[in-house]
Amino acid sequence: MQASGYYDKNKLGVKFAVIVDFDVLRDKNDFRNLLEEMSVTKENLDELIKIREEIQKEVESINPSQQLENIVDAISRLKDDVSRFCGTSDPAKNTSEIRKRLNKILENSSPWRKYKDEGYLALKESQGDFLRLNEMCKQYGIFIVPYGELESWLIPYGIDKTSNKSNWIVTALTKLPEISTDRTKPLWEFITDIHGYLLR
């Protein structure tokens, strides 16, 4: 479930949990909305917001000059590549390709990119903060994928990440029955935690 468009917990009629990627912590307002939708108490909500801000400080502590230099270098390389991938006479196709590459440059230049891939393990000073935040969120049915994105966990099982989320979920659901349960693996520990919450 994405970090927006939540269901009313009280009106849905059944107990449910929310699974979100690590970068749910990226936006303060989105995170607050999620906490409120999941009926987090005012005291705990305030504490969770403060912890999130500490994590955000570390994530976004990248040197702005270095970040700008990285973007300029990437755009320069793109400029050198244009003559190669614009070899067709189809302007619409060429424009689409350039847009894709520019979007990729912006995505990769975000200080959250590394954490989107690696999750809390990429943190140096705030790992303990995340673990505390994560445990508190679990009590309210909010399960943050600690290692980045949910898709990352299934790569070892032959299910690669893709930009097409719809195709990925179809492939994942098809192959999941073939995956042996191993409660010592992070994926199954995560599922066990969700199962335990729902049965509580």
Per-residue model confidence (pLDDT) at position 184 = 84
Q: Is residue 4 part of a domain?
A: no
119 shares a domain with 57: yes
Q: Is residue 1 part of a domain?
A: no
CB 196 within 8 A of CB 137: no
> For residue 113, what are its two tokens?
């990119």
148 shares a domain with 186: yes
Q: What percent of the chain has pLDDT over 90?
A: 38
In sequence order, the 6+-apart residues with CB closer than 8 A to the CB of 35 are 45, 48, 49, 140, 142
**Residue 160 to residue 111: CA distance in whole angstroms:** 23
136 shares a domain with 76: no
193 shares a domain with 126: yes
Query: Residue 103: what residue type?
Result: N
DSSP 25: G
Among 110, 127, 142, identify where a domain stops. 110
Instruction: Choose from 45-54, 92-101, 173-182 the range with maximum mean pLDDT.
Output: 45-54
CB 57 within 8 A of CB 154: no
146 shares a domain with 50: yes
Mean pLDDT of 100-121: 79
Per-residue model confidence (pLDDT) at position 35 = 97
> For residue 13, what are its two tokens?
């009629």
129 shares a domain with 33: yes
Instruction: Kindly tell me if the per-residue pLDDT of 147 is higher than 70.
Output: yes
**Residue 140 to residue 162: CA distance in whole angstroms:** 30
Q: Is residue 80 part of a domain?
A: yes
Q: Is residue 126 part of a domain?
A: yes
138 shares a domain with 79: no
Question: Range of 13's domain?
Answer: 9-61+115-199
CA dihedral 126, 57, 114, 2 (to 10 degrees): 90
The distance from CA 103 to its chain's CA centroid, rounded to whole angstroms, is 17
Per-residue model confidence (pLDDT) at position 1 = 41
User: In this predicted model, which residue has the larger pLDDT, 72 or 6?
Assistant: 72
98 shares a domain with 29: no
Instruction: Kindly tell me if the per-residue pLDDT of 139 is higher than 90.
Output: yes
- pTM confidence score: 0.74
Mean pLDDT of 5-9: 54
Instruction: Kindly tell me if the per-residue pLDDT of 4 is higher than 50.
Output: no
User: In this predicted model, which residue has the larger pLDDT, 96 or 199?
Assistant: 199
Instruction: Kindly tell me if the per-residue pLDDT of 107 is higher than 80.
Output: no
Instruction: Kindly tell me if the per-residue pLDDT of 119 is higher than 60.
Output: yes
Instruction: Kindly tell me if the per-residue pLDDT of 10 is higher than 70.
Output: no
CB 30 within 8 A of CB 21: no
Among 45, 79, 110, identify where a domain stops. 110
Per-residue model confidence (pLDDT) at position 181 = 84
Query: Residue 167: what residue type?
Result: N
Q: What percent of the chain has pLDDT over 70?
A: 88
69 shares a domain with 57: no
Q: Is residue 137 part of a domain?
A: yes
CB 109 within 8 A of CB 67: yes
CB 32 within 8 A of CB 45: yes
168 shares a domain with 93: no
How many domains does the structure of the chain reveal?
Answer: 2
For 106, phi and psi rounded to 5 degrees? -65, -40
